[in-house]
Amino acid sequence: MSVLTLKAKVIADEQTQAVLLDAMSCATKVYNGLIWHLRDEFERTGKTKATRKNLNAVLKTLPRAKGYYSLSAQATRDEVIQAYKSFFALRKAGRTQHQTPGFRRKTDYSPLRYYEGFGFTLEGDQLNLSLGTGRQDGVKSVTVTLQMRQDLSFQRVRGVLLTYDKTHGPCAHLVVEVAAKQPLGNRRVAVDLGETQAITAIFDDGATLLYSGRLVKSIRRYWNKVRAKVKPPGAENRRKSRRFGQIERKESRQVEQLLHILTADFVHRCWLAGVDTIAVGDLTGIRERIDYTDALNQRLHAWPFRKIVGMVTYKAGLHGIRVTEVSESYTSQTCHACGEVKKSGRKHRGLYVCACGWQVQADANGAANIFQNAFKVSPLTERSSGRVARPVVLPIRLGWHTVHETKSKVALAA
Ligand SMILES: [Zn+2]
């Protein structure tokens, strides 16, 4: 069983949407009312109590608190408490320059929260939300239609968060419980992450999958070119800083989308192959795998790796596959055949070359070492002869993305 958040677009007629937005606007007014109370008290007396008890009393004096569901109003109260908690934590740490938590803009629509068993029902795509019993217009609940991904069936909805922003309009975020798939076997695979090959996976029979990192690189190269035309952020040009942030977000989104495709494909293949455990390096060697001479890598160097680990872990979880992190120290420098560690001169055109005669795709060598670290056995040892076999790489196509795959074990031994 896994818990995940499903985002859904809220479809509602004009009147329903107006009521919903009014409830969200009530939440903003309540938030500001509570903030005002605490700030006022703090400014007058130098202290204030951001406690539930204290704020519940204030909540009763705020007429707009009746404009939306009572448990949602309590959630607003908790948001205020949270804001004050971090404010007090900062002051305690001696950072007294911070001001008391600020107001939300009057025109903002604040989120509405619902918890399992209280104030909402979901039947098919029909979401019914209770708005409490105290609204002036007398509306007690609204029903909206949700538009969401269809490929996922869930058994329970633990909660709903309703948000609004200008780009997406009203959105429902459903926290759902999904039954995880069961692994089909007990095979194992180890993963090495890199730049040239984003993912190199070696299975327990020596089969190796290579997912090229070329597209990730080209996305970053493109946005680097765009960035070069924009003045760097500085104190005197805030607008440009904003443009910088925008570029960063667009770039991240594109890279993330690509990584989603790669990791989804990889985890699915693992599942089909009967894998129940994936070993990934713990990224201790992250520096040695990044070519810092490349201008691209001055920035954003580590995050794609962490993203991949996060995505693989999450998706594997949905497939009932366990992910373990293992030490990857020296895995890229160690010869998988003879165990010798050498710092330099290991790579020639993507090949790991050792004096002992071992010569394989460098990332496959690294992945084999991670496999060895995780499972205490080599994925490349032929059971019959005890000899270490050599992986051979074949390119295959995955949509618009190029993936490389090895031949079967039989071919490897040849
Ligand atoms: Zn060697």
Domain end call among 125, 159, 178? 178
Best-predicted range by mean pLDDT (19-23, 232-236, 342-346, 348-352): 19-23
Measured in angstroms, how far is the CA atom of residue 261 from the centroid of ligand 1?
A: 35
Is 170 in the same domain as 28? yes
- 322-326 and 275-281 as β-strands: parallel, antiparallel, unpaired? parallel
Residue 165 has pLDDT above 90, yes or no: no
Is 90 in the same domain as 131? yes
Number of domains in the chain: 2
- Tell me the pLDDT tens digit for each residue of 271-306: 999 999 999 988 766 665 566 565 555 554 666 888
Average pLDDT over residues 65-69: 95
Is 153 in the same domain as 290? no
How many residues make up the chain in this entry?
414
Measured in angstroms, how far is the CA atom of residue 337 from the centroid of ligand 1?
A: 5
Pick the range with the lowest mean pLDDT from 146-150, 181-185, 291-295, 347-351.
Answer: 291-295
Res. 406 pLDDT band, cuts 50 70 90: very low
Is 202 in the same domain as 293? yes
The tokens describing 397, both together, are: 């196509």
Is 232 in the same domain as 94? no
Measured in angstroms, how far is the CA atom of residue 354 from the centroid of ligand 1?
A: 5
Is 58 in the same domain as 103? yes
Measured in angstroms, how far is the CA atom of residue 238 from the centroid of ligand 1?
A: 55
Is 7 in the same domain as 134? yes
Measured in angstroms, how far is the CA atom of residue 412 from the centroid of ligand 1?
A: 18
Residue 375's CB: how many other CB atoms inside 10 A? 17
Domain end call among 178, 199, 218? 178
**Beta carbons within 8 Å of 113's beta carbon, 6+ residues apart:** 71, 72, 75, 159, 160, 161, 162
- 349 close to 168: Cβ distance less than 8 angstroms: no
Residue 104 has pLDDT above 60, yes or no: yes
- 231 close to 398: Cβ distance less than 8 angstroms: no
Measured in angstroms, how far is the CA atom of residue 363 from the centroid of ligand 1?
A: 15
Is 86 in the same domain as 204? no
Measured in angstroms, how far is the CA atom of residue 191 from the centroid of ligand 1?
A: 21
Domain end call among 159, 178, 197? 178
Is 11 in the same domain as 151? yes
Backbone angles phi, psi at 355, to 5 degrees: -60, -25
- Tell me the pLDDT tens digit for each residue of 364-394: 999 999 999 999 998 887 655 556 666 655 5
Res. 410 pLDDT band, cuts 50 70 90: very low
Measured in angstroms, how far is the CA atom of residue 370 from the centroid of ligand 1?
A: 16
pLDDT at 290: 61
Residue 13 has pLDDT above 50, yes or no: yes
Is 243 in the same domain as 278? yes
Measured in angstroms, how far is the CA atom of residue 329 from the centroid of ligand 1?
A: 17
Residue 400 has pLDDT above 70, yes or no: no
Chain mean pLDDT for the chain: 84
Strands of 168-286, DSSP E: 169-178, 187-193, 197-203, 208-212, 275-281
Pick the more confident residue, 275 or 252: 275
- Tell me the pLDDT tens digit for each residue of 20-30: 999 999 999 99
| Domain hosting residue 114, numbered range | 2-178
Residue 324's CB: how many other CB atoms inside 10 A? 14
Measured in angstroms, how far is the CA atom of residue 339 from the centroid of ligand 1?
A: 6
Is 213 in the same domain as 311? yes
Measured in angstroms, how far is the CA atom of residue 284 from the centroid of ligand 1?
A: 23
Measured in angstroms, how far is the CA atom of residue 413 from the centroid of ligand 1?
A: 18
Is 258 in the same domain as 375? yes
The tokens describing 255, both together, are: 């890279």
The tokens describing 406, both together, are: 């090895």
Measured in angstroms, how far is the CA atom of residue 162 from the centroid of ligand 1?
A: 58
DSSP-derived 3-state class of residue 185: coil
Res. 270 pLDDT band, cuts 50 70 90: very high
Backbone angles phi, psi at 322, to 5 degrees: -85, 145
